[in-house]
Amino acid sequence: MNIAVLFPGQGSQKFGMGKKLAEKSQDIMDLWIKAEKYSNIPLREIFWESNDNELMADTRNLQPAITVVNLALWHYTKPYIKATCTAGHSLGEFSALAATSVLSVDDTLKAVALRGKLMAEADPEKIGSMYAILRLNAEQVEGFCKEVSESSGKLVRLANRNTPGQFAISGHKEALEEVVEKAQNVGGKCIRLAVSGAFHTPLMAEASAEFSKFLNEIEFHDAKFPVYCNVNGEPLSDAEKIRAMVKKQMTSSVYWIETICNQYENGVRKWFEFGPQGILTRMMRQIITVNEGSDSSFETIHIPNLAEADNYISNNS
């Protein structure tokens, strides 16, 4: 059986995440210390003490913190899992790159600290935003985005293909509001996302260019097992091809439906998600059920914390 390991990104945070595991393992506590050093942010204070939702959702704080939690859970559990491929959703792709040894842990933490800073500062005038759209299909959402972009001259695009019934749109606020109105008129449910800009669009081009300079300076290694990339959902193992794809990630749409479907078509029947909320597990089940049929046979295991990691290890050691 092929086994995939998945890593979530923004929106999967939780107060207190990673604390018990770090208190049990000095190596994992050291990951938090490194992340605080590279980001110059008191991450443990924010996520373990403040219980401030706004602070925890700030992309500068969230990106290094969720990456530490993802990697801590993976490193703690990985001796008991024979992974054959990996993927991460948006920010989570950097956890996937570390899991398959494309990037060192230190370079991963440096990367997400810089990525969070650049994305937070990419839209100082607050011209961009994002919405989640539910209950419509991709063709409807893409059609509305194209129609509004052409009529208004403003940018709006389908940015995240999360499940067959859940998408994210991103772009100029005025254009987003027009798409939302059209979607609601045909029964769509629209939720404004708590983000600081139009992520995964060309409005991130300046931040992406700056981030690419950093990516050129760090070492990429061939993957120990394939990573399915956000920008097209295809598996890659070659270091330089992965670098090229990661450079495009900040301005490209996230093809998550294609990622999961391609893993399934390539024989994956068991998925592990490492992260606090289980968002990707729920999304993955919807994708497989809709695209492969309700009678499809597969298994999902969500490991959100120390207790569940220990439970899995005790049952599989």
Active-site residue, from 90, 129, 149, 170? 90
Handedness of CA 220, 170, 281, 75 (dihedral sign): positive
Nearest by Cα to 234 from 85, 133, 113: 85
CA distance 265 to 152: 40
Q: Supply the Cα-derived Rg of the chain in whole angstroms.
A: 19
CA terminus-to-terminus distance, the chain: 18
Q: Known catalytic residue: 75?
A: no
Residue 227, φ and ψ in degrees, nearest 5: -110, 130
**How far, rounded to the nearest angstrom, does the alpha carbon of residue 141 sit from its chain's CA centroid?**
21
CB 10 within 8 A of CB 63: yes
Active-site residue, from 200, 208, 252, 253? 200
Q: Known catalytic residue: 221?
A: no
Q: Which residues are catalytic?
A: 90, 200
